A and B are shown apart, each in its own frame.
Chain A
């Protein structure tokens, strides 16, 4: 059904269509409306047979998800930014125990300085936690990918994080096609856990594992991740068969054929980027764009295929590691090792700084002379002034 709605409420409705049994959460901007909408759906009875747990913290919220999922219920939560860091210990725990929890992340910067606006720092802070990490480009995808996320999580025994850009998507009021319950039921069977806490069949979960088996347990998680690389495209196809839409998947090649310069990004920035790429292509330039829709497991093969024939790949990302530079860039470098393709690193959109068409034009314009990583739209005057001021003090200490 076509509807004009806020991105967060759309996610709430999509999650409700998946019939979660326990929703456990704690509010944080910009994720808040997602859990508010689910709270309302549960309270009104529209989402039946579901427990809505309003927890004392994100750490508690993810912990309750762990208990709920281990006891055999389909379980959902959502967070952002500081909330993600506050629950981080439990985030690792959930994947270590192979619990198919689905979590939405309304991506937001991590402070200090306190900043509520969008970038991908929160997702990156738990990059190595063993969760499948999906990124959506628009609000239709966020609906569709959530529906796929439950099936993916439950078929692999791994938790899945659906990343959607805070404000840009969570607060965007756009038209979406909300699936029918009957379609979702056809796509998503009831949750059948591999194992659960059951007095009729007692199991011990979360044992202490020493050096003699810990590596094997980690490798098991890796093997499941590798399996996901096959399962994700297969489920995307199954989804398309029922819903008539291509949504999700590993990587999205936005233009047919090969190009000299390929932009690689994640999330909603592709909306603006495509406008510029269209312009440049109209001017006869050999440029193209690819989005990583799955970030963990990293879709190495799919990316290599998507950028095949390129002279250079420019990774545009909303994440940054001080002391090194781009984070996704490093993954792309590793994935394209041996192909001879030059990989460039561009960082933009940190803490909500808009990535404009003009920004992306300068990105393409700088391709011939770029060395090291580049930060778009940087206020050099402020930066230089602060560096001078700091060095006056710091030099004394050295």
Chain B
């Protein structure tokens, strides 16, 4: 409806947000800062005033990703959003936090809507206008999986970004296919003999994406915005179907302090639970090494959703999670110095 269409003031050349990650050998101290983070021409695509929780990793990830994509495309960008936190907190009528053409349709169809937009732009001769679809892990890897796979298989000229906070946050933290073993959610409570989510379930959507043989797949983590930026930039330099999955902690759903979002994300990276890699046409082309490896314990300790793992009798859960991290470290050869791994 027309009443749902909102118009915005022109973008101003003001840096409103700056994020350097938790390794604060900050870009503010370095002469050469080639990242978008510190530049005044940064678009602030997801403007301040939206209603995300404090420290929301998804809001952070989306702002970095879309700012970068806007920069990479000279502003010629359309964004499609699946239903979920990002959509709900950014566009409560009559407000909108988006400074880019943006459309929300449904929970499970962002990939198909984006496909339609890409084809529509193409027949109109506007191939300079690029399309991004984005959603949470539920909208992407559960209910949206059919449309996503179709988008990959047809090799539509769309970049799909999944912000993975490992559960359905918008509806009150229910389990998704990305919820890790042992994690407490509203549907996997820490009760009974095997508290929290079951082990051995779930799926790797980056690997499913790779199996489609699409031009580009990457995983990213908001603890490293420059890496995320580089991956989005690379994705926007390629035509065809692309997929980036960004690891984004959710203070509300995970039970972490709002100020610790980046720290928790960094811990996930350091312990090997969220391997960062890139793949082209189904083959892995790059893996980010872990500079400062840590056991999973510290990562789990900072989150209430894993509190039961540290209770007496649940040691096997802690071990199982450590085993997953170790397997990742081996499979992706994540350690810069393999001897480091022997510390734990």
Residue of A nearest to B107 (CB): A89
In this assembly, does A393 line the interface, its C-beta being within 8 Å of a C-beta of chain B? no
A53 contacts B119, C-beta separation under 8 Å: yes
A53-B93 in contact given A59-B146, A66-B105, A220-B3 (Cβ < 8 Å): no
A205-B103 in contact given A49-B123, A195-B2 (Cβ < 8 Å): yes
> In the complex, how many residues of chain B place their beta carbon closer than 8 angstroms to a beta carbon of chain A?
51
B-facing residues in A98-113 (Cβ within 8 Å) = 98
Contacts of B154 in A (CB 8 A): 53-54
> In the complex, how many residues of chain A place their beta carbon closer than 8 angstroms to a beta carbon of chain B?
53
Against A, the Cβ 8 Å flags (1 = close, 0 = not) of B88-130 are 1001111010111111111011001111111111111000010
A67 contacts B103, C-beta separation under 8 Å: yes
A322 to B116 alpha-carbon distance, docked (Å):
37
Residue of A55, A56, A194, A209 most packed against chain B (CB within 10 A): A56
In this assembly, does A206 line the interface, its C-beta being within 8 Å of a C-beta of chain B? yes
A63-B112 in contact given A73-B124, A220-B2 (Cβ < 8 Å): yes
B-facing residues in A57-116 (Cβ within 8 Å) = 57, 59-61, 63-73, 75, 89-90, 93, 96-98
In this assembly, does B239 line the interface, its C-beta being within 8 Å of a C-beta of chain A? no
Contacts of A201 in B (CB 8 A): 7, 101
In this assembly, does A197 line the interface, its C-beta being within 8 Å of a C-beta of chain B? yes
Contacts of B80 in A (CB 8 A): 67
In this assembly, does A208 line the interface, its C-beta being within 8 Å of a C-beta of chain B? yes
A207 contacts B112, C-beta separation under 8 Å: no
In this assembly, does A221 line the interface, its C-beta being within 8 Å of a C-beta of chain B? yes
A209 to B87 alpha-carbon distance, docked (Å):
12
A56 contacts B1, C-beta separation under 8 Å: no
A203 contacts B6, C-beta separation under 8 Å: yes
Contacts of B94 in A (CB 8 A): 207, 213
Residue of B nearest to A217 (CB): B1
Residue of B nearest to A194 (CB): B2
Residue of B nearest to A56 (CB): B150
A67 contacts B2, C-beta separation under 8 Å: no
A90 to B75 alpha-carbon distance, docked (Å):
29
Task: Tell me the minimal C-beta distance from B119 to chain A in angstroms.
Answer: 4
B1 contacts A199, C-beta separation under 8 Å: no
A209 to B78 alpha-carbon distance, docked (Å):
21
In this assembly, does B14 line the interface, its C-beta being within 8 Å of a C-beta of chain A? no
In this assembly, does B153 line the interface, its C-beta being within 8 Å of a C-beta of chain A? yes
Contacts of B113 in A (CB 8 A): 63-64, 66-67, 70
Contacts of A197 in B (CB 8 A): 78, 101, 103, 117
A97-B115 in contact given A203-B7, A204-B98 (Cβ < 8 Å): no
In this assembly, does A24 line the interface, its C-beta being within 8 Å of a C-beta of chain B? yes
Against B, the Cβ 8 Å flags (1 = close, 0 = not) of A39-59 are 000000000011101111101
Task: Tell me the minimal C-beta distance from A159 to chain B in angstroms.
Answer: 12
A230 to B98 alpha-carbon distance, docked (Å):
38
B117 contacts A67, C-beta separation under 8 Å: yes
Residue of A nearest to B97 (CB): A204
B146 contacts A199, C-beta separation under 8 Å: no
A63 to B113 alpha-carbon distance, docked (Å):
5
A209 contacts B124, C-beta separation under 8 Å: no
Residue of A nearest to B128 (CB): A199
CB within 8 A of B4: which of A22, A56, A89, A207?
A207
Contacts of B78 in A (CB 8 A): 71, 197, 199
In this assembly, does A244 line the interface, its C-beta being within 8 Å of a C-beta of chain B? no
Contacts of A63 in B (CB 8 A): 105-106, 109, 112-113, 116, 147
B92 contacts A67, C-beta separation under 8 Å: no
A207-B6 in contact given A71-B120, A72-B124 (Cβ < 8 Å): yes
In this assembly, does A202 line the interface, its C-beta being within 8 Å of a C-beta of chain B? yes
CB within 8 A of B115: which of A64, A198, A206, A213?
A64
A190 to B106 alpha-carbon distance, docked (Å):
29
In this assembly, does B71 line the interface, its C-beta being within 8 Å of a C-beta of chain A? no
A195 to B113 alpha-carbon distance, docked (Å):
17
In this assembly, does A216 line the interface, its C-beta being within 8 Å of a C-beta of chain B? yes
Against A, the Cβ 8 Å flags (1 = close, 0 = not) of B117-156 are 1111111100001000000000000000011011001100
A67 contacts B4, C-beta separation under 8 Å: no
In this assembly, does A142 line the interface, its C-beta being within 8 Å of a C-beta of chain B? no
A207-B96 in contact given A59-B108, A64-B119 (Cβ < 8 Å): yes
Residue of A nearest to B5 (CB): A203
In this assembly, does B77 line the interface, its C-beta being within 8 Å of a C-beta of chain A? yes
In this assembly, does A21 line the interface, its C-beta being within 8 Å of a C-beta of chain B? yes
A90-B123 in contact given A97-B4, A199-B77 (Cβ < 8 Å): no
A67-B124 in contact given A60-B147, A90-B109 (Cβ < 8 Å): no
Contacts of A340 in B (CB 8 A): none
In this assembly, does B8 line the interface, its C-beta being within 8 Å of a C-beta of chain A? yes
A66-B129 in contact given A56-B149, A205-B4, A205-B5 (Cβ < 8 Å): no
CB within 8 A of A59: which of B87, B112, B153?
B112
A96 to B154 alpha-carbon distance, docked (Å):
28
Residue of A nearest to B95 (CB): A207
A209 to B92 alpha-carbon distance, docked (Å):
6
In this assembly, does A372 line the interface, its C-beta being within 8 Å of a C-beta of chain B? no
Contacts of B117 in A (CB 8 A): 67-68, 70-71, 197
A59-B147 in contact given A67-B120, A207-B93, A208-B93 (Cβ < 8 Å): yes
In this assembly, does B76 line the interface, its C-beta being within 8 Å of a C-beta of chain A? yes
A213 contacts B123, C-beta separation under 8 Å: no
In this assembly, does A210 line the interface, its C-beta being within 8 Å of a C-beta of chain B? yes
Contacts of B101 in A (CB 8 A): 197-199, 201-204
A157 to B4 alpha-carbon distance, docked (Å):
13
Closest 4 CB pairs of A and B: A67-B116, A56-B150, A64-B116, A63-B112
CB-defined A-B contacts under 8 Å, sample of 29: A21-B120, A51-B119, A55-B112, A55-B150, A56-B149, A57-B146, A59-B109, A60-B109, A60-B146, A61-B112, A69-B116, A70-B117, A70-B120, A71-B120, A75-B116, A93-B106, A97-B1, A97-B4, A98-B1, A157-B2, A197-B101, A199-B76, A199-B77, A202-B7, A204-B103, A205-B5, A206-B91, A208-B88, A213-B94
Excluding A51-B119, A60-B150, A66-B113, 15 further A-B contacts by CB distance (< 8 Å) are A59-B112, A60-B112, A63-B116, A64-B116, A71-B78, A71-B121, A72-B124, A89-B106, A97-B1, A202-B98, A206-B4, A206-B105, A207-B96, A208-B104, A209-B93
